[in-house]
Structure 1
Amino acid sequence: PYVGVFLEGFLTNGDYRTIFANALQLVLAVALYWPFFKVMERAELKLEAKKAAKKSIFSKEDEDTLAGLDLDF
């Protein structure tokens, strides 16, 4: 059975320092991959905005004009 990242290192050899080593590895892994995830997220947001602009039948000026109207139906 799976016991978790921090506890399994301790259970394999009984040394408490493995808990700190596992924590350090986890922190370093997150710190290493974080910038790549942020770059990917920015690229996806740009692509999503481009798709939304392409899908819209109204231009930016039309949307601003429609937003300024007080239409209550």
Structure 2
Amino acid sequence: MSRLYYKIWADAIQRYWKHHPKQPWKLNVFLMMTWMHTLNAFIVALWLKYFDILVIPILACFIHKPQIYQNFRLA
């Protein structure tokens, strides 16, 4: 797994050097890779939620909030 991670980072740095040789690359590559990994983790979490494999309390709170109000009755 560490070699795959290294290849992804090395490929991102080399591509950035190729297309933008005069610009500073460290922050831009870091932000791009962070955004890609965050998006990937969010997509995986949504698929796990969709197939009811993993229950994520924060998503259940935001997605099913109207059901809370429907169950609430005024006496």
TM-score range, shorter chain: 0.3 to 0.5
Instruction: Name the TM-score, length of structure 1 as normaliser.
Output: 0.40
Instruction: Name the TM-score, length of structure 2 as normaliser.
Output: 0.39
